[in-house]
Amino acid sequence: MNASPEIQQDLPALTQKFRIVFALTWQDLRNRYVGATFGLLWSFIQPLVMALIMWLVFAMAGARPIHGVPFIAWFLVSIAAYNFFAESLGTATQVFREYAFLVKKVRFQIEILPLVKIFTAAFVHFLFLAIVIVVLLYQGISVSWFWLQTLYYIAALILLVQGLSWVTASLNVFSRDVSYGVQVLMQLGLWVSPVFWEFDMIPDRFRALAVLLKLNPFVYVVQGYRHSLIEQIPFWSDWRLMLYFWCFTLFVWLAGYCLFRKLKPQFADVL
């Protein structure tokens, strides 16, 4: 069966978009370390040093295992997810200002620009995950097919950040305060997300607070990382949280794109 003419016309355009995104992502990675002797190696060195520091700090503090898992392994899985979220959203928020020369080009489809920053952050994230996996193996956690579930959660997080970044990047064109606000919210989010703690650590008298904290869509992702890499729990186990996450992400994605389309005609004049 032959594809419809509309699909045949859309496929080359879609392919071209991905080529542009990946080309800009590669250029963004190179620009990040321009003038540095080690270049892209810093993308590996930075997460490696962070992992070693965390390992040393928690070893000296005598952190106790959580659910029978060494704290350093449990924590690194959590912080890997959060760093990707914070880095991708933080940099994507500023993307329209950074690429103002492309925004001013009438025919350039600037809605793909946030993906450049997200994919750049994803590159560093995969390097950090490689370090995390080495730590997991060293701590006696065996390889499992459940590890592949991490790709699902990465894709879910990319879609969520893309929707959020259409909102924040569009508003940041008109006020730089938005990017600073995002940075503050990311610092706050580190503590209200279950990165350093688990929900079963919350006393029963604060159960209402636990319900409120679960409204944070990132909860689904960070728990999913631990379910995949440590606990070997399928992604559909908490279907209510999964349903909430995807409804929230779909709403943010559509609302973000609509806001972007509404504000886009004014970008060139403001920039």
Mean pLDDT of the residues in the chain: 83
Q: Is 4 a residue whose pLDDT tops 70?
A: no
pLDDT(1) > 60 = no
88, 117 in Cβ contact below 8 A?
yes
Residue 148 has pLDDT above 90, yes or no: yes
> Residue 18 CA to chain centroid, in angstroms?
19
Question: What share of the chain has pLDDT > 90, as a percent?
Answer: 36
| 247 confidence band (pLDDT: 50, 70, 90) | very high
Angstrom CA distances, 86 to 11, 38, 117, 192, stand at 32, 25, 12, 13
Euclidean distance between CA atoms 120 and 59, whole angstroms: 31
Class of residue 182 by CB neighbours under 10 A (exposed 0-12, middle 13-18, buried 19+): buried
Q: How far is CA 253 from the centre of its chain?
A: 14
| 39 — pLDDT class (breaks 50, 70, 90) | low
pLDDT exceeds 70 at position 47: no
pLDDT at 118 over 90: yes
Find the mean pLDDT for residues 14-36. 76
Alpha carbon 226 to chain centroid, angstroms: 15
pLDDT of residue 10: 52
* Across 27-51, average pLDDT: 68
Mean pLDDT on 108-135: 88
Do residues 230 and 65 touch, judged by C-beta distance below 8 A?
A: no
> What confidence tens digit (pLDDT) does each residue in 185-237 have?
988 888 888 888 788 877 778 778 888 888 899 999 999 999 999 988 898 88
What pLDDT does residue 99 have?
Answer: 85
Rounded Cα gap, residues 256 and 268, in angstroms: 19
Name which residue leads in pLDDT, 105 or 259.
259
The answer to whether 229 and 150 are in contact (CB under 8 A) is yes
The answer on pLDDT for 28 being more than 60 is: yes
The dihedrals phi and psi of 106, each to the nearest 5 degrees, come to -60, -40
With cut-offs at 50, 70 and 90, classify the pLDDT of residue 26. Answer: confident
- 40 vs 116: which has the higher pLDDT: 116
CB 232 within 8 A of CB 140: no
- Which H or E element spans position 188? helix 177-192
pLDDT of 226 reads 92
Q: Report pLDDT for 246.
A: 96
Q: How far apart are CA 53 and CA 45, in angstroms?
A: 12
pLDDT at residue 206, as a whole number: 77
At residue 6, the pLDDT reads: 43
